[in-house]
Structure 1
Amino acid sequence: MLTLLPSGVASSDPPVTLSPRLRSDSALRYLGTPSDWAADILQKLNYHGPLALSWDDTALKEAISVHTESKDVCVILGASEGVICITKEDNLENLFEQAQLQKADKLRVWLLSIPLPKIPLILVATVARGSSTKAKNLVDMHHQLTERLHEHNIHPVSLAADGAEVERAAQRMITAAAPAFSIYAIPNKKKGCSVVLQIPLYYDKHPIVIIQDSKHGLKTARNQIMTGARMLIVGCFIMCYSMLRQLADHILGPLFWHDISNAKKQDDRATARLFSAVTLKFNHENSPEQLGLSVYLFVLGELIDAWQNRNHCNHIKMVLRAQFFLMAWRSHTVAHPDHNLNTHFISRELFDIFLTLCDGLLSLIIVYCK
């Protein structure tokens, strides 16, 4: 594993073990002190405002390499356990003979961002890890990183990750571990549809807000309609793959054939076309009987648009509309004798992602206003 500094130059300092437990479990290792670089950049920019911390994984070519640090010390790189120092040659042989090393196949990157235009991201840390790394180990990495940032009085307001199950589990654990919370409630007369916001407070009551990648959630919403495992039902109206095919088959339709035939699940452009105002208008005018699809495209498309350039009043209206719709839709599905959540409602994962998007944006508005 190699940790890069924000300048893109690898540090020549020897590896530093943060803790034996973390070394064996989650492999978070640093070369130098990346938080020093982040603090230095913020000082040079004379920036003292809010910050956002995000992280993501990318594929890493699996390889194990051995480097000689000195006559008696070797360093093994590329294992998911982290940088391993071997002091005796026979220990190195035993290690390879017993096949105890698991090759890292992912590179995890933490980035600190200033929410202002034309300012590049600040690379805080990177770590090589395995695909089987558990959420608890990811949380340990996060806490050690935030401890280092805290030493420099750097406290990100938001924590962003993608919608993978392990990432959402890690975010829930980060929230649960908070020593204090700020709680806000938005009541609703409909049972089970009230909104309760819990904003975790860390390090002398510094708020953090858990958020998701909004465009990743929209791609998942598109895939829900295209899967044959579900028949989404909103009230008396269904949503299914054939409706999207009609939009693509129509000579004036807004969708392309490759948007729905052997479509890539992570196609950003196809997703943007499906949830565009043009598609919504075309479907409403040419297929008014497909009201469920029109409502689905409008409400969820508005939720993602709420994360773009809008004033606070519009933000709140768009988010609350989506949140109340999702909660009421789920309550209706549960109460209906012929419907069930596994077939006629969006997946549990997508429901959780959308609620996180709703709660996250409302929480950010509260935090920034205060």
Structure 2
Amino acid sequence: MEREAPRKIIHVDMDAFYASVEQRDDPSLRGRPVAVGSPAARGVVAAASYEARTFGVRSAMPSVTALRKCPELVFAPPRFEVYRAVSRQIHAIFADYTTLIQPLSLDEAYLDVTENLRGLPTAWATAKEIRARIHDETGLTASAGISYNKFLAKLASDQRKPNGQFAVTPEMGAAWVEGLPVGRFHGVGPVTAERMRALGIETGADLRARSMAFLQEHFGSSAAWYHGIARGLDDRPVDPDRTRKSSGSETTFDRDLTEAAEIEAGVLRMADDVWEWCEKTRAFGRTVTVKVKFADFRQITRSRSHAGGVTAQEQLRQASLELIRSVYPPRKGIRLVGVTVSNFNAAPGETEGLPLFGGEPQAP
């Protein structure tokens, strides 16, 4: 029986996307350490340029910590409407090469180019041409990983960052995985990686040496995934119809809040951010969730589902207020609030789904 030819998968990942857009649009920022976010005492870094990363500045880092690591750090306020517009440009380039595009966020996506639309002979040549067009048309650089499955393609895209590409062939896949630390594996987060290290699993080779029974005992339903990726196996297709499960926005206050009016003003701003995305994409959810983080970093969520969907801005605002009011009076000050909409429906009379290369507002 003839064996099925391996897929040709490309994972394209923009280099320091938000920060690179800011450096592109403001020449005074080029070559300088830049963080997208707010320098306020309670601010958080949404993205960091490569110049900032050399000092240890990373996304999701508190701004005060980032400034301690890099006193010369320059903060640029986020412009999500600009990032979304650039993302659409990039998606238009992808669409010239394949119809099988699965976005992961504004700045990365999987492409299945097994049968590419331009007739290029290899996935390597396809990735190279896509990266060149992204640079020519947006002024930004991208890195790419090329392989026969999604897991390896995503790992490979980190190998030559920034502005490079790397391929993992079927002949080298399993052996290549064995030499990598498990903390680099997609689907193995920091907590799981620590659990694995406690069990003596430091590398892909260590993971491969463990039996399925051992993995099931310690990792339950995730055992099959870990067993497969330790061998370079991943059968997941590139899914262009994969829909967004949620869209949310959150903000960290400059100080801990206890006054209802101030807390609710923050919740309403986040609800309006989310509604802007819902309107643009014509995606309307049934479930509203409010997230609250207290001064002691304890975090809770409150959710409520609406049978007919949340299809009006005022409806989302009211639902968000009702949820935040359910935690009153707060036992401690509130440092962060967020609003998320999930369980998407199409709007009445609409057939358009989620954007193929969309993103969600995430206020830093």
TM over 0.5: no
Q: Higher relative contact order at CA 8 Å, sep ≥6: structure 1 or structure 2?
A: 2
More helix by share: 1
Structure 2 length normalisation: TM-score? Answer: 0.23
Q: Which has the larger radius of gyration?
A: 1
Structure 1 length normalisation: TM-score? Answer: 0.23
